Amino acid sequence: MRKIPLKTWEVIALLVWMVGIFWFSSMPNLSSGLKEDFILRKLAHCFEYAVLTFLFFRVLRRRVESPWNVFFGAAIFSIGYALTDEIHQTFVFGRSGIIKDVLIDSIGVLMGLVSQISFRKPA
């Protein structure tokens, strides 16, 4: 049996995570309306985009030489995906696209970038 290279697994993980975000965005709003539910959903937004950014950063770092291009590429890609996710939600019954959610997702993007910097090996 042939081993799958690590860089391939990183791409697969990224694609699976993107499909997961799309799938959850396709579900009708099942909110209970409680304040705690609202907070948990917004924290989930931050988490899912922190992971997305982390994964995309890992994919880019093997293909792009400049660390700044990797950093900004991961940020732009993730924020762009958040924007398209909100557009997608406008077509889902019971959901709506809210630009404020893109801002919340952007906090998650920042968290993903900070976590990647924290995990860097010292020179």
The pLDDT tens digits of the residues spanning 108-120 come to: 999 999 988 777 6
Counted domains in the chain: 1
Spatial contact of 76 and 110, defined as CB atoms under 8 Å apart: no
With respect to residue 62, please indicate whether it lies within any of the assigned structural domains.
yes
Q: Is the pTM of this model over 0.95?
A: no
With respect to residue 1, please indicate whether it lies within any of the assigned structural domains.
no
With respect to residue 123, please indicate whether it lies within any of the assigned structural domains.
no
With respect to residue 51, please indicate whether it lies within any of the assigned structural domains.
yes
| 105 has a pLDDT exceeding 80 | yes
With respect to residue 23, please indicate whether it lies within any of the assigned structural domains.
yes
Residue 20: domain span: 6-118
- Rounded distance between C-alpha atoms, residue 121 and residue 10, angstroms: 18
- Rounded distance between C-alpha atoms, residue 48 and residue 14, angstroms: 11
